[in-house]
Amino acid sequence: MRLAVIVLAAGGGTRMKSSRPKVLHMVCGEPMINFVLESAEKLSPERIVVIIGHKSEMVREALSCFEDRIEFVHQDRQLGTGHAVSICEDSLKGFDGVVIVLSGDTPLLSTGTLNRLLDVHNRGGAAASILTAQMDNPTGYGRIIRSSDEAVLSIVEEKDATAEERAITEVNTGTYCFNKNKLFEALKKIDSNNKQGEFYLTDVIGILRDQGEKVMASVTDDPNEVMGVNSRVQLAEAEKTLRRQINEKLMLEGVTIIDPETTYISAGVEIGKDTVIHPMTFISGKTKIGEGCDIGPMTRLIDTTVGNSVLIENSVVRESTVEDGAELGPFCHVRPGTLVKSGAKVGAFAEVKKSVVGVGSKVPHLSYIGDTKIGDYVNIGAGTITCNYDGADKYETVIEDGAFIGSDTMLVAPVRIGKGAFTGAGSVISKDVPADSLAVERSEQVVIDNWVDKRQKKKGIKKG
Ligand code: UD1
Ligand code: CA
């Protein structure tokens, strides 16, 4: 069987009240249309045609990750779903077979459900088959009109429906299989004589039926899966459903999620077994976490690679790598381009940017480390700051293996601390420090004996 997929994504998404095209709104960290395209790809169709129109450049750009696996057709004016499909006729000229039509705003639809629809369609030898669902609240969806013997007759859009038709709870999910030639023939007969003044794809069903063609329906058993996202309220519902699915899949793979209700993991994230995720944790992008880690509570990991047995508590880590056995937080901020090597520690109220923290090295408290290469087994005293920016340019700091940086050291970059060297607490280090030496930069301490007595006498204060 030859198969092509058309994905509808040209609409403005008026009900989203957004400057961003609807299909690019994010569900669990990915534009919702990505999920639709991923499900479509798994059917291995010959062609995937995406109809774009409203802010098409933005959509094209966002879908560049699909490269040449998809092709675009431009719908200049959004005259309705039927019009959108009809303009694909030219690009599908050489194709003959089954056409699946999907909506870019139905992100939870699974390949399994699509396969069942295809099966119903092929086995029944139908001209068209609709994926339908029984919805407790069918508001907003087209209703499925069936004859007394249950045969599908047509689809009526809610705005055009009578009160009696609106009471029908079986809805059109906007997902269909068509015989290609019959689809495009029927599309020539649709008009825009309806409440919305649009060319409805749904009218094709009634037209095919009237021609005596076979129209079938496959009723999905999971209405959540086929929900269309038209508003931000529905966007949040879709997010919630997908979030639950992602968390359940991870738990079944051996990840402990203490409270799935407050754990927000994006679709593309990978987590190894025996890792524990604590509440209020957000893991997104291309983050990959190894086995036996302890992550959270209140932690955010974005596009970060985490090894095995890593501890991250109350922290934010972005576009960085954290190796095996490292420890982050509580309350640290690891910014892009950082590598925390195995067994290293970045502790409370420390910020690290575009730096390497070497094997077993420690930045335990209250530090800023930027554009710095810290070697192995270095200790950075509390309050140490790398002064990497002079208001115009950024400079690098190098701290070699085994160095000991005294508390509250200011390292004025560019500067290098040699292997095994020490800096005295409170020093402002602006010159390189040779290996195994001590650099102290602070004035001698002065002690004035009996200063308090003298002061009291001078001021006439009585001794308390
Ligand atoms: C549509 C169906 C409705 C179904 C519902 C399921 C029609 C007429 N109605 O309604 O029966 O219950 O989906 O979710 O088809 N689009 C274009 N070009 C256009 C118009 C729309 O590409 O000119 C795209 C939109 O971007 C969207 C999809 O088609 O991705 C569906 O359009 P939308 O306006 O959301 O249709 P619904 O009102 O939800
Ligand atoms: Ca819709």
Which of 226, 253, 277 corresponds to the end of one domain? 226
pLDDT digits (tens, 9 = 90+) for 75-98: 999 999 999 999 999 999 999 999
pLDDT digits (tens, 9 = 90+) for 106-150: 999 999 999 999 999 999 999 999 999 999 999 999 999 999 999
CA 335 to chain CA centroid, Å, is: 18
pLDDT digits (tens, 9 = 90+) for 4-55: 999 999 998 999 999 999 999 999 999 999 999 999 999 999 999 999 999 9
What's the 112 CA to ligand 1 centre distance in angstroms? 22
Q: State the closest ligand 1 atom to the C-alpha of 228, by its place in the atom list counted from 1.
A: 14
pLDDT value at position 1? 86
Per DSSP, what are the bridge partners of residue 152? 146
pLDDT digits (tens, 9 = 90+) for 430-456: 999 999 999 999 999 999 999 999 999
Q: Is residue 448 part of a domain?
A: no
Residue 391: other Cβ atoms inside 10 A: 4
3-state SS class at 182: helix
Sequence length of the chain is: 464
Question: Ligand nearest 205 Cα, by number?
Answer: 1
Shared domain check, 299 and 193 = no
pLDDT value at position 13? 92
Q: Is residue 455 part of a domain?
A: no
Protein residue with its CA nearest to atom 26 in ligand 1? 11
Which of 166, 196, 226 corresponds to the end of one domain? 226
How many domains, the chain?
A: 2
Q: Is residue 206 part of a domain?
A: yes
194 lines ligand 1 (CB under 6 A): no
Which of 226, 260, 290 corresponds to the end of one domain? 226
Looking at the chain, the whole-number percentage of residues with pLDDT higher than 90 is 98
* CATH code of 256's domain: 2.160.10.10
Q: Among 103, 135, 144, 168, name the best residue to mutate to test ligand 1's pocket (greatest count of ligand atoms within 8 A of Cβ).
A: 103
Mean pLDDT for 288-317 is 98
Q: How far apart are CA 209 and CA 216, in angstroms?
A: 10
The pair of three-digit structure tokens given for residue 298, joined into one six-digit string:
């209140």
* CATH code of 168's domain: 3.90.550.10
Question: Ligand nearest 235 Cα, by number?
Answer: 2
21 lines ligand 1 (CB under 6 A): no
Burial of 160 (0-12, 13-18, 19+ CB in 10 A): middle
pLDDT digits (tens, 9 = 90+) for 195-240: 999 999 999 999 999 999 999 999 999 999 999 999 999 999 999 9
pLDDT value at position 464? 65
DSSP letter string, 353-402: ES-EE-TT-EEEES-EEESEEE-TT-EE-TT-EEE-B-SS-B--EEE-TT
Shared domain check, 262 and 324 = yes
461 confidence band (pLDDT: 50, 70, 90): confident
Shared domain check, 153 and 95 = yes
333 confidence band (pLDDT: 50, 70, 90): very high
Shared domain check, 193 and 59 = yes
DSSP letter string, 311-349: EE-S-EEES-EE-TT-EE-SS-EE-TT-EE-TT-EEEET
Q: Is residue 239 part of a domain?
A: no
Report the alpha-carbon angle 294-240-176, nearest 5. Answer: 130
Please check whether residue 133 is in contact with residue 172, taking contact to mean a CB–CB distance below 8 angstroms: no
Q: State the closest ligand 1 atom to the C-alpha of 9, by its place in the atom list counted from 1.
A: 26
202 lines ligand 1 (CB under 6 A): yes
CA 47 to chain CA centroid, Å, is: 26
Checking if the pLDDT of 405 tops 70, the result is yes
pTM metric for this prediction = 0.92
234 lines ligand 1 (CB under 6 A): no
pLDDT digits (tens, 9 = 90+) for 228-249: 999 999 999 999 999 999 999 9
Burial 299-331, CB ≥16 within 10 A → b, else e = bbbbbbbbbbbbbbbbbbbbbbbbbbbbbbbee
* Residues noted as catalytic: 365
- Domain range enclosing 127: 3-226
Q: State the closest ligand 1 atom to the C-alpha of 79, by its place in the atom list counted from 1.
A: 23
